[in-house]
Amino acid sequence: MLLSTRSRCINRLWRSRATLLRRPRATHCRALQSSTAAAAPGEDGRYAGADAAALPRFFSFELPQAAGRSVQLGADEARHAYRALRLQPGDPLELCDGRGHLVRCELVQADKGSATVCAVEAPRELPWRGPRLVLAVGCLTLAGGRTDWLVEKATELGAHSLVPLVTERSNAGAGRSKFRTGKVGGGGGGGAAAEAAAGEEDYRPAGRLARLAAAAMKQTQRAHGLELRPPTALRDAAAEARGAALALVAAGGAPPALRQLEEARRRGAGSGVGDDGSQADTDPWDGRQIWLLVGPEGDFSPSEVTTLLDAGALPVGLGPHRLRTETAALSLLAVAAAFVDDARQGGAPPLPAPPE
């Protein structure tokens, strides 16, 4: 008798917990659709007054192309909708393809293995806003979950792309890296040197890293996913960085990153001319590349530093302490992203000159 009573109590508690965790039924999804039909989305793709928490975002390579069209979510996305978020038929959500396209949908059906969503409007395209922060890191030899952490946090901080660098000190063992090449219908391999020599059209990022980047994109409400580029030889990265609006290389003992960024702004970086020579009408940073280069464990060799400096990269310091590769990369990315965001919004007065 006691066991039976206890079982009933436990079942009641679980039912209460499920009720609390279950997201509100979107029986008014259609009312929401009609009330916002005339409203225009903002630059971040959201309608004025929309609650971000009420619109979970899902990833799909294929989007419904018109209102009333439906698509099937992948198994992972379906499991997340059904088990983690406990969405019910009629609940509103957003569907994103990671290439800047976003569409509002509602859930039609979901179980632990599949889910169907139906668009309530046509997809809209959201252009990339601000500079394209290219994070180039000697990350091919990172052990454990440090590469995963780098990919996830780089996405969250707003990097446009991640370029694994093949350097003198990150080549050994690079064949065990989580980055790989592969052709459709075939496998890749051959280590970092082969990956660096392969054309980008033959490159396919490792599935785990792509999934981590997609999950971070959804969590941060980005419309554009992190571009995972193939491993690239340092000399090729330096050549590409030469044509960017700005390039920064982390170097111990160099002037602080913020000071170098202020100097770059005084010299006219972000002056309104795009990397292709076009004139920016609104935001001088839009579409321009800013390269952020960080060495591997053991740092860049002296000759590699010279190569980067000859390509126009500015050396920047990240404080007095020795940082791990991924920590240095994310620190530089955070500083650059915050500085550019401030500059785009009018900018703060220049930093005071340091004492003599």
Q: 105-137: per-residue pLDDT in tens?
A: 999 998 888 899 999 999 999 888 888 999 999
Instruction: Output the pLDDT for position 20.
Output: 37
Average pLDDT of the segment spanning 312-321? 92
258 vs 44, higher pLDDT: 258
Is there a single domain that holds both residue 197 and residue 149?
yes
Q: Is the residue at 280 inside a domain?
A: yes
Q: Is the residue at 121 inside a domain?
A: yes
Return the structure tokens found at 166. 């093949």
Instruction: Output the pLDDT for position 323.
Output: 93
Return the structure tokens found at 108. 């039609």
Q: Is the residue at 313 inside a domain?
A: yes
Query: What value does the mean pLDDT of the chain take?
Result: 76
**Could you give the number of structural domains in the chain?**
2
Kindly report whether the global pTM for this prediction surpasses the value 0.85: no
Instruction: Output the pLDDT for position 34.
Output: 38
Domain closes at, from 86, 101, 125 = 125
Average pLDDT of the segment spanning 22-51? 43
Structural domain containing residue 69: 50-125
Is there a single domain that holds both residue 311 and residue 223?
yes
pLDDT exceeds 60 at position 15: no
Task: Name the band, by pLDDT with cuts 50, 70 and 90, for residue 328.
Answer: very high
Give the range among 169-183, 202-216, 305-319, 336-350 with minimum mean pLDDT.
169-183
Q: Is the residue at 231 inside a domain?
A: yes
Instruction: Output the pLDDT for position 352.
Output: 41
Is there a single domain that holds both residue 141 and residue 78?
no
Q: Is the residue at 72 inside a domain?
A: yes
Instruction: Output the pLDDT for position 53.
Output: 53
Instruction: Output the pLDDT for position 42.
Output: 58
Task: Name the band, by pLDDT with cuts 50, 70 and 90, for residue 179.
Answer: confident
Is there a single domain that holds both residue 203 and residue 75?
no
pLDDT exceeds 80 at position 63: yes
CATH code assigned at 262: 3.40.1280.10
The full 3-state SS of the chain, as one line of letters, equals CHHHHHHHHHHHHHHHHHHHHCCCCCCCHHHHHHHHCCCCCCCCCCCCCCCHHHCCEEECCCCCCCCCCEEECCHHHHHHHHHHCCCCCCCEEEEECCECEEEEEEEEEECCCCEEEEECCCCEECCCCCCEEEEEECCCCCCCCHHHHHHHHHHHCCCCEEEEEECCCCCCCHHHCCCCECCCCCCCCCHHHHHHHCCHHHECCCHHHHHHHHHHHHHCCCCECCEECCCEEHHHHHHHHHCCCEEEEECCCCCEHHHHHHHHHHCCCCCCECCCCCECCCCCCCCCEEEEEECCCCCCCHHHHHHHHHCCCEEEECCCCCCCHHHHHHHHHHHHHHHHHHHHCCCCCCCCCCCC
Q: Could you give the CA distance from residue 328 to residue 253 in angstroms, rounded to a whole number? A: 14
Q: Is the residue at 38 inside a domain?
A: no
Is there a single domain that holds both residue 96 and residue 209?
no
**Percent of the chain residues past pLDDT 70, beyond the cut:** 67
Is there a single domain that holds both residue 340 and residue 243?
yes
Is there a single domain that holds both residue 213 and residue 325?
yes
Is there a single domain that holds both residue 153 and residue 287?
yes
Q: Is the residue at 234 inside a domain?
A: yes
Is there a single domain that holds both residue 87 and residue 235?
no
Domain closes at, from 102, 125, 148 = 125
Average pLDDT of the segment spanning 138-166? 93
Give the range among 97-106, 137-146, 271-280 with minimum mean pLDDT.
271-280
Average pLDDT of the segment spanning 191-197? 49
Instruction: Output the pLDDT for position 347.
Output: 57
Task: Name the band, by pLDDT with cuts 50, 70 and 90, for residue 327.
Answer: very high
Reference 56, options 19, 114, 28, 96; nearest CA is: 96
Is there a single domain that holds both residue 179 and residue 229?
yes
Give the range among 105-119, 209-223, 282-296 with minimum mean pLDDT.
282-296
Domain closes at, from 75, 94, 125 = 125
Instruction: Output the pLDDT for position 74.
Output: 86
Q: Is the residue at 5 inside a domain?
A: no
Instruction: Output the pLDDT for position 30.
Output: 39
CATH code assigned at 89: 2.40.240.20
Is there a single domain that holds both residue 98 and residue 211?
no
Is there a single domain that holds both residue 166 and residue 307?
yes
User: What tens digit of pLDDT does each residue of 229-283 get?
Assistant: 999 999 999 999 998 989 999 998 898 888 888 887 777 655 544 444 444 444 5
215 vs 279, higher pLDDT: 215
Instruction: Output the pLDDT for position 177.
Output: 58
pLDDT exceeds 80 at position 78: yes
pLDDT exceeds 50 at position 148: yes
13 vs 195, higher pLDDT: 195
